[in-house]
Amino acid sequence: MLRKINIAVAQINCKVGHKKHNIDLMKKHAKKAREKGADLLVFPELSLTGYLTRDLTYNLAEKIPGPSVNSLEQVAGKENLHIVFGMLEHSEKARGVIYNAAVLLGPRGLIGKYRKSQLPTHSVFEEKRYFRPGYQLPVFETDIGRVGLTICYDIFFPEISRLLRLKGAQLIICISASPAVRRKFFEVFTTARAMENTVFLAYTNLVGIEDGLQFWGGSRIIAPSGHIIAQAKYDEEDLVTGEVDYSELKRIETFVPTLRDLRPEFFDSLKTHTEDL
Amino acid sequence: MELKTEVLQLDSATAEARIKRFIMDYVEKSEATGVVLNISGGVDSCTIAALSSLALGGSKVLGIFLPEEEAHNADDAKHTKMVAEKFGFDLEIIDISSVLKVCYHSLPIFEEQDKISKGNLKARMRMVFLYYYANRLNRIVCGSSDKSETMIGYFTKWGDVAADISPLMDLYKTQVRQLALYIGVPPEIAKKPSTPRLWPGQLAEQELGIKYETLDLILFGLERFMTPKEIAEQLKLPVTGVEEIRKRWLATEHKRRGPLTAKLAYRTVGADFRIPYTTQ
């Protein structure tokens, strides 16, 4: 496993419902990321199809692995990169069961997937109408470190990132499709999740406009100290890279020992009170 | 939540940037050659014309001024020209009086004294002209409706509200005035009393019986789920007045949606079809 890795976060303007266009866009950015020396390239939530696919969701969803994963596996292999991207996944067992998924690919192919746990269904969001939530929070042991995946609204729930950290994640990736009115939340929460868990966090967001929703970009890589290692522009396509040095984790875990000081009994109480809200 | 003027304070720089980006994006995705819009000389239409011009360039914006003799006001023409010159967009002036007269004569049930029906006819006639231009020029119609008037239904159904996009529709009237001043719309336009100009002497605040400064705070409170009682207490207004606004807002939902149909089949237009706008 590499001690230091170079991460690229790419915020792209996807075309809703046009996988080929979006895959071509990802290919272009993969080449750019490779040229910048990246080991890992992270694309936003539902970057394969665009975010607001609404009723097109049922026809755009694919199995994992499936044709689009295969195409992007080739990109990862050709550019010798790890790639994370978002897509609509349908269940193998029931075609109408759809997940909002993040896929992790390595240069040798598919490593794993994560299904979004927290589905926003309020304001302009209607994810529970279309998606089943995921029930697993996997951490993947890879050549680029132990990686946990989250998607967008998951970041509002500290227990998700915490659990990934407790399962050994050194790097938490959050891919999102966040509209401009939510910028403050994401800027605070992404930094907070990195700091409270003493973990590296790579955040990437869409740009562009879908159904009047303007995605604000602002992708970033955050150190456990809260230091912003790399920050992409607001509102326009951008790709930035930053180096993550996992050896820093030991120092920060000692200096800010939140993991050492965790109190399990509070979690029991949290469960009881959540059930009784 | 405290209802005071500050809550309506707009971040005008951000609003300008987002609205311009929205207009550019929609025109591009529609593969249109630009926008046409009804410019009346009022703050909403002058502001959206100016923003469209800033977003797309003046050559892609056609403002159409559609006066008619009954409610004609010389200031409107002057203000329209002033804004067109300042922001560099094309301006077309078409007097619709004659075509309206043909309509009046052709309608067997036309009633001169029914000023609402007659006024709505004028607003809808403007829509007909706008869409003719949009079709001929392969452009989209850019509307100027604001949030205050849209929420309380103070517009003509299929008339002045008819458009492909309405970039100001999430800004209250008092916020549109702030934005107007910020982007350089002359103050005499930004601050002038609003009127749909459907009949002589018509003034919005007089007709509504409330100042926009107060109306916007009431609507802001309703938008945030405050009760009429809470709003009335804070603004020191009679609760019946606030309830009246709330009633007006809820009762006019039919004006803000597509036509309602009876649910009969598997998937129904307007009910459970949900198709993205931006699909190409």
Pair B146, B173: CB distance under 8 Å:
yes
Q: Is B277 on the interface with A (CB under 8 A)?
A: yes
Sheet (strand B140-141) strand order: B90-93, B61-65, B35-38, B140-141
Closest by alpha carbon to A151, among A170, A131, A167? A131
**Residue in chain A nearest B167 by alpha carbon:** A212
pLDDT the model gives residue B206: 87
Per-residue model confidence as pLDDT tens digits over A242-251? 999 999 999 9
- Active-site residue, from A45, A79, A89, A248: A45
- Active-site residue, from A19, A62, A113, A116: A116
CA-to-CA separations, B205 to B100, B160, B192, B194, in angstroms, rounded:
26, 18, 11, 7
- Do A54 and B275 count as a contact with CB atoms less than 8 A apart? yes
Q: Architecture of A4-248 per CATH?
A: 4-Layer Sandwich (3.60)
The secondary structure of residue A184, as a DSSP letter, is H
The domain locations on chain A are 4-248
pLDDT the model gives residue B204: 85
What is the pLDDT of chain A when averaged over all its residues?
Answer: 97
pLDDT the model gives residue B278: 62
Q: What residues have CB less than 8 Å from B223, skipping those under 6 apart?
A: B151
Per-residue model confidence as pLDDT tens digits over A112-135? 999 999 999 999 999 999 999 999
pLDDT the model gives residue B277: 85
pLDDT the model gives residue B31: 95
CA distance A113 to chain B (A): 26
pLDDT the model gives residue A161: 98
pLDDT the model gives residue B208: 87
The predicted model gives A218-222 an average pLDDT of 98
For every residue of A77-118, DSSP letters joined together read HHHT-EEEEEEEEE-SS-TT-EEEEEEEEETTEEEEEEE-S-
Active site residue A116: yes
Residues B264, B266, B272, B277, CA torsion sign: negative
Contacts of B275 in chain A (CB under 8 A): 54-56
The domain locations on chain B are 5-200
pLDDT the model gives residue B140: 98
pLDDT the model gives residue B279: 54
- Do B278 and A50 count as a contact with CB atoms less than 8 A apart? yes
Q: Looking at this predicted complex, what is its ipTM? A: 0.91
Q: Is B278 on the interface with A (CB under 8 A)?
A: yes
For every residue of B152-182, DSSP letters joined together read HT-S-TTTTT--SB-TTTTS-HHHHHHHHHH
Q: Which residues of A touch B (CB under 8 A)?
A: 15-18, 50, 52-56, 126, 129, 180, 208-212, 214, 235
Walking along chain B (280 residues) 10 residues at a time, the average pLDDT comes out as 95 98 96 97 97 98 97 92 98 98 98 96 98 98 98 97 98 98 97 87 87 97 98 97 97 96 93 80
Domain boundaries B5-200, CATH class: alpha beta
Beta bridge partner(s), residue A140: A147
Instruction: Give the CA diameter of chain A.
Output: 53
